[in-house]
Structure formats: C-alpha cells, structure tokens
Amino acid sequence: MAASAYDYEFKTIDGAPLRLTSFKDKVVLVVNTASACGLTPQYDGLEKLYSDYKDKGLVVLGVPCNQFAGQEPGTEAEIKTFCETRFNVDFPLTAKTEVKGEGAHPFYKWAEGVLGEPAVPVWNFHKVLIGKDGQALQAFGPRTEPEAPEIIAAIENAL
C-alpha cells in the first residue's frame, strides 16, 4: 500500500503526466466531476474555493469521470472547453478517469483503504481532501457544496 497521495499520478486533461508530488506541501481537494450532471454548477463553487485559497496553498483537482449515468461523455478537449467557457475553470483537470470499481484509479483505491467507505465516490462531485503531507484527511459526499462550512473548516484546518 502506498504511503501517501504523492505516490500517485494522473494524466492532465492535455495528456501530460501529473504527479501528485507536484502538489507537495499543498492541501488538495480531489473532486470527480461531470459536465452533464445536476451538480455541475458546483464548478462555480470549486473555482471560487480555488481562487480564494490558492495563494494560501490549496489546489482543487478536477477528475472528470463518466461512471455515473454517462454524464461525462465528451472527449478531454470537449470537457476542457466546457469547463473553461461555461465555468471559467482555472484549477487543474485530469484526463477522464474511473473512480470506483475494479478499474478505479489507484489513487481512489488508496483513499478507500485509508478513509474507508466514505472515500468511495457514489456520484459526481464527490470530494477527497488531502493534507500537506499527502495523507487523506476526509471525504465529502457529492451533495456537500464546495463552499459548505464543513469543507471550508477542513481546508482552513489543513492549511
């Protein structure tokens, strides 16, 4: 079992390697996203969180996923354009990724191993908070808005 989130890497939405070590000493909110979901407006809250806290050391990492009712059917280029034009997303996005089940990205399997069932995404916009040391701190369900008091408190505590 990996020691921390820093042992994993994703691909960026543009196809380049994205090692989580590049976020060392930062707090990272990892969120599986979708463009055609009722919760898609959460992109606004995620971008606001990122904009409000990035200078203090927060990274929001969007992980597009098509595992929930096919709500992220587009290509990486389409997803990137949608996020940038509809929600002015400035935070990093990964390539489309599986987040649950057999094919789940190893990061998500690790998070489940550390945090248990709460770390397993049940829908789009599930959130996993990673501390500055790369440890999984807490998971938040899809309906917990990005700017909910419990998420703000957890982020501020981790910063």
pLDDT band at residue 52 under the 50/70/90 scheme: very high
DSSP element (H, E) containing 53 = helix 42-53
Q: Which of 2, 36, 37, 39 is catalytic?
A: 37
| pLDDT for the residue 99 | 98
What average pLDDT does range 16-23 have in this prediction?
97
pLDDT in tens, 80-137: 999 999 999 999 999 999 999 999 999 999 999 999 999 999 999 999 999 999 999 9
Pick the CATH number of 5-158 from 1.10.8.60, 3.40.30.10, 3.40.50.720, 3.40.50.1400: 3.40.30.10
The fraction of the chain above a pLDDT of 90, given in percent, is 98
Which amino acid would we find at residue 21? T
Residue 1 confidence (pLDDT) above 70: no
Known active-site residue 37: yes
